[in-house]
Structure 1
Amino acid sequence: MERLDRLQLEADLRANYYRYAEGLDNKDWQQVRDCFAEEVFLDYGPIVDPGGSPDQPRPADDWVATLQRNIGGFDLTRHTICNHRVEVDGENVRCTAYLVADHIILQDSQMPIAGPDNIATVVGEYTNQYRHVGGEWKIFRSRLDIKWSSGNIALFQQAAERFLMADVIPESV
């Protein structure tokens, strides 16, 4: 692969990660969906996705609905994805990157002050494999290796309950 092609590929894959993180944080589920191929193999572990199997492809729309349920009930999230490492082996394109993600439920939505009881942080590493689809690189296989979590992890259950109890029907993607 020529140097300019390699630089463009790396920029494209970083842009995909950034769109994904921005979509999650803005609850722009269509933007999140656009980062994935039609079907995706996922390995996010039983904590994140208890019903998923990393050996079976699933519709990306179903995965985005799972993400909505998991984090849609948080007041704020902030996903930082960095230290991207790209590997190309023939047709196989993979990018690994660090993740630090804060998940916040505020005590008072009018006062954006978060104490230790309001934040759950997840630290890990994504490994995404890509396919070129319609002129764009799309994730078709994604793995999240959670290294550690800190803070009030019970907020995930609270956020899921908030999401399910919301009167708003989630938009389909």
Structure 2
Amino acid sequence: MKMIVASLVAFMMMAAPSIAKAESMKPEDRFAIIDAITDIAAGADRHQWPRVRGAFAEEVILDYTSLWGGEAVTQSADEVVAQWSNFLPGFDRTLHLVTNHTIVDAAGDTATAEADFQATHSLGKDLWVLSGHYRYGLVKSAEGWKVTHMTMTATHETGDRGLVGKAAERAAKKMD
């Protein structure tokens, strides 16, 4: 038990400087970071692709390896939006809820944030629900805070993951 308490104290002492840096962030910067994160999820659900694109920096590192394996991918924001807009409309509905936003670290024009998520995807009566958390890297530009890095860690999954492929096929048929 003493070992667990000592480990917790050590962890909290290591985390304290980062938390202190993030707490000194201006409220308008905090809100802008949360808005950028929200614009990605809500914009994708509403198929508001300019909104999604506006939340990303020119180049984005996406890491979905906890779900799909492989390696993180670096892409232009335009490529990310093109990919998402080519399969998400194939679902009947999606709902990406993002909550518990935390600014983990902030220094000048860069920040790291975390948030929990639950993403529900429906196709007919079939569902695929994924939950977990994201870690975001952000940079402040003349246009505001932009996401440069997203790492998704899946923690819970129910339903049919194969709906992603079915939605992509369905979306492709709609485009023809």
Question: Is TM > 0.5 for Structure 1 vs Structure 2?
Answer: yes
Alignment of 1:90-105 (within 5 A): 90-91=107-108, 92-105=110-123
Gaps of 5+ in 2: 1-20
Gaps of 5+ in 1: 107-114, 169-173
**C-alpha distance in structure 1 between counterparts of 2:157 and 2:141, whole Å:** 34
Do the aligned partners of residues 46 and 95 (structure 1) sit closer, same or farther apart at CA in structure 2, a change above 3 Å counting?
A: closer
Alignment of 1:1-173 (within 5 A): 5-45=25-65, 47=67, 53-54=71-72, 57-91=74-108, 92-106=110-124, 115=125, 118-167=126-175
* Residue-by-residue CA offset, 1:67-100 (whole Å, 9 max, x unaligned): 2234221111011000011022424401100010
RMSD of the TM alignment (CA)? 2.3
% identical equivalent positions: 25
In the superposition, the TM-score normalised over structure 2's length comes to 0.78
- 1:57 partner SS: strand
Please report how far the alpha carbon of residue 4 of structure 1 lies from its aligned counterpart in structure 2 after TM superposition: 7.6
**C-alpha distance in structure 2 between counterparts of 1:2 and 1:45, whole Å:** 27
Answer 1 or 2: which has greater helix percent: 2
Which residue identity is paired with 2:82? A
Q: Contact 2:104/2:111 (CA < 8 Å) preserved in 1?
A: yes
Do the aligned partners of residues 58 and 120 (structure 1) sit closer, same or farther apart at CA in structure 2, a change above 3 Å counting?
A: same
In the superposition, the TM-score normalised over structure 1's length comes to 0.79
Aligned residues: 155
Match of residue 109 from structure 1: none
Which residue identity is paired with 2:142? G
Larger radius of gyration: 2
